[in-house]
Amino acid sequence: VDRLDGKLGMAHFYVAFIALAIGGLAGLLQTLVRSGKLVLPAGIGYYQILTVHGVVLGLVLTTFFIMGFQLVAVSRTAGTFTSKQRMAGWIGFWTMTIGTFMAAVMILLNEASVLYTFYAPLQAHALFYLGLTFVIVGSWIDGAVIISAYAAWRKRNPGKPSPLLTFMSLVNTLMWIIATIGVAATVLLQLLPWSLGLVDRVDVAISRTLFWYFGHPLVYFWLLPAYMAWYVVIPKIIGGKIFSDSLARLTFILFLLFSIPVGFHHQLMEPGIDPAWKFFQVILTFMVIIPSLMTAFSLFATFETYGRSKGATGLFGWMKKLPWGDARFVVPFIGMLSFIPAGAGGIINASNQMNQVVHNTIWVTGHFHLTVATAVILTFFGISYWLIPHLTGRTFTKAMNKLAIIQGVFWAIGMTFMSGAMHAAGLLGAPRRSSFSEYGGAAQAAEWIPYQVAQGVGGTILFVGIILILYIFINLAFFAPKGEEEFPIGEAADESEKAPMVLENWKLWIGIAVLLILFAYTIPFVDMIQNAPIGSKGYKLW
Ligand code: HAS
């Protein structure tokens, strides 16, 4: 990656890792509070800490890491940015950073304890919403850099499929832009005017619907960069090939189509939405599982083909040939493994009847700690092990590699305790998002306590994992020996395979995505507006 583009990427990573430190500490405090072993000092509230944790890790760390990674991936594969593009990248970065600062200050002042899903009726200080608006606008500016770099490449290379990493970054960016329109709408049209006192009430159902229109594709915005590494980088690291370039592209297109019109699966228990539309969105949710199953298939194929090319025999002999001493592979691999039960949990959540059992229990928290906080974040750590030294002109030493594997193992053990206990307690009815309580000595609540202690144990082990990764990050950014680290980009197994150009017909794919969204949302949305109670100032929508 060009040195100047690398600096832009690194700026994003510094913010991401600072966010990890702050958010990780908040996470540790939460598990300890919930175990009943800690009372927060100095009047700090449980929901304040929970908001810090969710916003800083779920929104800040992810957005900065992903944008940084996609920018350098595009610079590496589609060509160095022009000075104008780079300047736009910096404007995007600073806009996001200023927004983050505004939101963070409001949360720390306890003026925005509204959790990372900040829809109504919880209300925050207007500066919190403004800050988040800045983060989103900044990410759009970063996204514009990616789109313009793709367009420039396209112009220089008519008729050729774009580089796979650029293609994937573009799809994720397009999905992000379409999805964030929903959250921008609730913030700008509802939450901000409400918080400023310009309107005295907002419609909660509409706010939640606009949020979840964004909230589900948000999780795929987190996942797709991990998939980029699984499809493109991991094959090169193990010494193998990408199973199929076209399959990888098709997977990403399917995410573009099906990630967005599925928000109702977060609202299955909510009144005010016709069950027929919930049913339709559940069907679409099952469609969005398909590209993940294709990914699993493709990864197994890559691993097995590589192992057999090295002489492996038997059903699972190929596993022995994988590079078990290389943290750049092992750490994301732990992530892949965790994604198998994580995905199964997602399918349970999406199934209407089972959702009634798990909704709003701590099972859901267990689910997303396996998905985003294990599969995705361990892959981000795996990416950092080669990308940070690549960008800072240093090397990933053997000692750091060893420590990175230990870090991954700590994470796996900590998360098994924490997420496992969350799943189990959830099935026993333990609510999510509540502080420690014995609920007046209720027998059912007493059953949850051992699991809450297990969550505290897991959370503590995970915090050790956070200290280790921060140590490795600082080493790779500032102290590791100078040298060169490769940016691994795999080649397709069949080099003659040319990805069909229809996969880059954006009018077609964005058109279908918009049609699906309109179909899934128009009628229920009109229903909501028509049935909204009339507010005291005569507002209907608000
Ligand atoms: Fe989810 C709630 C359904 C995936 C994150 N999810 C959440 C929330 C978050 C979240 C944050 O339908 C909480 C939101 C809140 O605050 O309320 N989720 C799904 C479904 C999937 C899914 C169907 N979720 C994710 C991903 C996330 C994420 C990914 C983050 C990154 N989720 C739900 C539902 C709810 C929900 C409901 C609402 C619950 C409620 O009631 O509130 C699917 O996309 C999952 C598909 C995945 C698979 C797995 C494929 C496996 C692969 C690994 C292969 C491994 C290999 C290793 C090759 C089918 C690709 C080799 C192994 C060897 C042994 C050699």
* 103-117, 285-299, 327-341, 493-507: the lowest-pLDDT one: 493-507
Residue 394 main-chain phi, psi, to 5 deg: -125, -175
CA 495 centroid distance within chain: 32
Residue 77: pLDDT band with limits 50, 70, 90: very high
Residue 355 main-chain phi, psi, to 5 deg: -60, -30
Give CA–CA dist 191/199, Å, rounded: 9
Looking at the domain assignment, is residue 539 inside a domain? no
| Active site annotation includes 156 | no
Candidates 223, 225, 184; CA nearest to 207 is: 184
281 lines ligand 1 (CB under 6 A): no
502-542, pLDDT tens digit by residue?
A: 999 999 999 999 999 999 999 999 988 887 765 544 444 44
For residue 493, the model assigns a pLDDT of 86
Ligand 1, residue 215: give the atom nearest the CA.
Answer: 14
For residue 372, what is the DSSP state? I
For residue 398, the model assigns a pLDDT of 97
355 lines ligand 1 (CB under 6 A): yes
Judge whether residue 336 has pLDDT over 60. Answer: yes
Buried (b) or exposed (e) across 315-348, using 16+ Cβ within 10 A? Answer: eeebeebbeeebbbbbbbbbbbebbebbbebbee
Residue whose CA lies nearest to ligand 1 atom number 5: 368
222 lines ligand 1 (CB under 6 A): yes
Query: How many domains in the chain?
Result: 1
Give CA–CA dist 162/323, Å, rounded: 30
Radius of gyration of the chain measured on its C-alpha atoms: 23
Set 231, 396, 432, 473: catalytic member? 432
Ligand 1, residue 303: give the atom nearest the CA.
Answer: 65
Ramachandran sector of residue 162 (left: φ over 0; alpha: ψ -120 to 50; beta: rest): beta
Looking at the domain assignment, is residue 432 inside a domain? yes
* Ligand 1 pocket mutation pick from 269, 270, 368, 433 by most atoms within 8 angstroms of CB: 368
For residue 431, what is the DSSP state? B
CATH number at residue 312: 1.20.210.10
Ligand 1, residue 223: give the atom nearest the CA.
Answer: 31
Looking at the domain assignment, is residue 541 inside a domain? no
Looking at the domain assignment, is residue 440 inside a domain? yes
With a threshold of 0.90, tell me whether the complex ipTM lies above it.
yes
335 lines ligand 1 (CB under 6 A): no
Q: Which residue has the tokens 């420039």?
A: 152
355-413, pLDDT tens digit by residue?
A: 999 999 999 999 999 999 999 999 999 999 999 999 999 999 999 999 999 999 999 99
Residue whose CA lies nearest to ligand 1 atom number 54: 296
98-151, pLDDT tens digit by residue?
A: 999 999 999 999 999 999 999 999 999 999 999 999 999 999 999 999 999 999
| Active site annotation includes 249 | no
Looking at the domain assignment, is residue 87 inside a domain? yes
| Active site annotation includes 390 | no
Q: Which domain holds residue 499?
A: 3-531
Set 46, 128, 339, 368: catalytic member? 368
451-486, pLDDT tens digit by residue?
A: 999 999 999 999 999 999 999 999 999 999 999 999
371 lines ligand 1 (CB under 6 A): yes
